[in-house]
């Protein structure tokens, strides 16, 4: 670490090679913070951020012993780890919400306390609840509890559905629209409600939280400025891309039957829980956010137009 690095606040992004983590790394580096980017393989960090001044470190949240060196000298952790294959769990490989989001966050908190870390910023999600029967809400809720009980400073942000140039979901819709000129296949009736959040808006908020320490001890939801059904979102994407396709709704039960079969096959490309995850609504209530921050949020059509064919 250089002398100038030692003088700047050090923030570690856990999950730095992911969709959100990479956006945070870029935002923090632009604010001239000393950024430590953590992933299971530091060489992936180096490749991903060739153009960004970051310090790459390796660590796996499911192996606490791998985190001890990784957290040395860190003041603030931004925790945005997600298991590989999300949202399709693979319990035989420890790739589940509870193993990685739940216990992984607890491991990170435990090591952070002994390593002298001061604050943790956690990317939770709308609906987090330790008593939920849904594993994703339960794991997020338990992770939140371990942070609140830790004695560390913290901010917990519960985003709705986040989209941006490097996301997987909205880009998948765009690819499907381009590849199939006849129709757009939608699982279910397309009525689930979402207020999509532009990744650069989220990165700006997390950057403010890290840089100013504002929102310490707070938990708040954050979504985009407008709530739509999923069908309305697909229609907006088509309008911006200049495409016209009928949306064909696929009944859920055959998709669930295919998921049952997929659960038995190696690679687990789909599961029944993952289908449920994709069909749920995620509407963030921005009222607490509005009290804490004076920031605008980008409407979906504007973000799509500004980024051309990519969201």
Determine if 81 is a binding residue for ligand NAP (CB under 6 A).
Answer: yes
Task: Tell me which residue of 61, 37, 60 sits closest to 49, measured CA to CA.
Answer: 37
User: What would the two tokens of residue 212 be?
Assistant: 């100013």
Query: Residues 93 to 112: which contact ligand NAP by CB under 6 A?
Result: 100-101, 104
Query: Residues 152 to 171: which contact ligand NAP by CB under 6 A?
Result: 159, 161-162
CB neighbour class for 52 (10 Å; exposed up to 12, middle 13-18, buried from 19)? middle
Closest CB to ligand NAP among 190 and 311? 311
Determine if 210 is a binding residue for ligand NAP (CB under 6 A).
Answer: no
Stretch that binds ligand NAP, among 76-84, 219-227, 236-244, 303-311 (CB under 6 A): 76-84
**Contact between 12 and 70 (Cβ < 8 Å):** yes
The residues pairing with 119 across neighbouring beta strands, listed in sequence order, are 76, 153
Closest CB to ligand NAP among 161 and 293? 161
Q: Which of 36, 42, 56, 80 binds ligand NAP (CB under 6 A)?
A: 80
Residue nearest to ligand NAP (CB): 18
CB neighbour class for 135 (10 Å; exposed up to 12, middle 13-18, buried from 19)? middle
Angle at 62 between CA 60 and CA 155, to 5 degrees: 85
Determine if 20 is a binding residue for ligand NAP (CB under 6 A).
Answer: yes
The residues pairing with 90 across neighbouring beta strands, listed in sequence order, are 95
Determine if 286 is a binding residue for ligand NAP (CB under 6 A).
Answer: no
Minimum separation from the CB atom of position 38 to ligand NAP (A): 7
State the distance between the two ends of the chain, measured CA to CA, in whole angstroms: 36
- The β-bridge relationship of strands 184-187 and 247-250 is parallel
Q: Which of 31, 40, 113, 307 binds ligand NAP (CB under 6 A)?
A: 40
Determine if 137 is a binding residue for ligand NAP (CB under 6 A).
Answer: no
| Residue found by looking up tokens 């913290």 in the block | 154
Binding site for ligand NAP (CB under 6 A): 15-21, 39-41, 44, 60-62, 80-84, 86, 100-101, 104, 123, 125, 159, 161-162
């Amino acid at each position: 670490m250089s002398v100038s690095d030692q003088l700047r606040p050090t923030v570690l992004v856990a999950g730095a090679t992911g969709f959100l983590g990479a956006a945070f790394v870029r935002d923090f580096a632009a604010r001239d913070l000393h950024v430590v980017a953590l992933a299971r393989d530091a060489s992936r960090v180096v490749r991903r951020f060739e153009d960004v001044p970051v310090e790459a470190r390796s660590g796996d949240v499911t192996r606490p012993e791998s985190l001890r060196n990784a957290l040395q000298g860190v003041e603030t952790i931004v925790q945005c780890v997600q298991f590989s294959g999300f949202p399709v769990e693979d319990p035989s490989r420890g790739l589940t919400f509870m193993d990685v989001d739940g216990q992984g966050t607890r491991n990170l908190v435990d090591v952070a306390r002994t390593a002298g870390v001061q604050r943790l910023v956690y990317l939770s999600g709308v609906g987090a609840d330790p008593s939920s029967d849904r594993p994703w809400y339960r794991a997020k809720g338990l992770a939140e509890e371990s942070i609140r009980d830790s004695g560390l400073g913290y901010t917990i942000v519960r985003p709705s559905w986040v989209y941006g140039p490097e996301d997987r979901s909205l880009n998948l819709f765009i690819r499907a629209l381009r590849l199939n000129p006849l129709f757009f296949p939608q699982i279910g009736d397309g009525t689930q409600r979402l207020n999509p959040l532009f990744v650069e808006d989220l990165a700006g908020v997390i950057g403010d939280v890290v840089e100013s320490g504002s929102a310490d001890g707070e938990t708040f939801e954050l979504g985009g400025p407008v709530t739509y059904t999923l069908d309305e979102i697909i229609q907006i994407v088509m309008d911006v891309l200049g495409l016209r396709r009928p949306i064909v709704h696929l009944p859920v039960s055959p998709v669930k039957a295919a998921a049952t079969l997929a659960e038995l096959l190696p690679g687990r490309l789909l599961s029944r829980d993952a289908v449920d995850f994709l069909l749920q609504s995620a509407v963030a209530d921005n009222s607490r956010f509005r009290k804490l921050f004076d920031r605008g949020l980008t409407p979906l059509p504007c973000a799509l137009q500004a980024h051309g064919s990519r969201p």
